[in-house]
Amino acid sequence: MQFSELQSLVEIDLRIDDTELDLEAIRTPQIHGKYLNFYTQFTLQLKKAEDERKTMYRDKWEYYTGKADPDVYREKPFDLKVLKHDVQMYIEADEEYQLLSQKEAYLKSMVDYTNRTLSQITNRSFTINNAIKWKMFLHGE
């Protein structure tokens, strides 16, 4: 799922129809369940991406320090001698590593967004309750 798709879903699902507040109140647990599933899914994907990045970091560390398997260097030669304190700079500048870091950052955004959406859904009940009380006040009840 793309971030823009998630945003569109949230916009639709969090909209409250003030002419049917009773149905909106009933719909709240269903919406909460939907976004809890998204949150769980994105959290698991994030964990997997973090683990992949850590594994790639180790592989890149071995590559840039000259400790990788000789087959790796035949496939992708690297003839420089990198100083120990410069290895991290080379790893962080590596395109493959950057792609995994970007994927991880993207998934962190998805997790954060769904977490904040869950908070809004929790507050939705208070908003609906206040809208009901306001309508009752307007009708003199």
> What confidence tier does 123 reach under pLDDT thresholds 50, 70, 90?
very high
pLDDT at 135: 86
Could you tell me what percent of the chain has a pLDDT over 70? 100
Whether 83 and 65 have beta carbons less than 8 Å apart is answered as no
Given a cut of 90, whether residue 37 has pLDDT beyond it is: yes
The residue-averaged pLDDT of 120-140 equals 89
Given a cut of 90, whether residue 139 has pLDDT beyond it is: no
What's the pLDDT tens digit per position in 58-117? Answer: 999 999 999 999 999 999 999 899 999 999 999 999 999 999 999 999 999 999 999 999
* Domain coordinates in residue numbering, the chain: 28-124
If 0-12 CB within 10 Å is exposed, 13-18 middle and 19+ buried, where does residue 67 land? Answer: exposed
Given a cut of 80, whether residue 14 has pLDDT beyond it is: yes
Given a cut of 90, whether residue 141 has pLDDT beyond it is: no
pLDDT at 13: 96
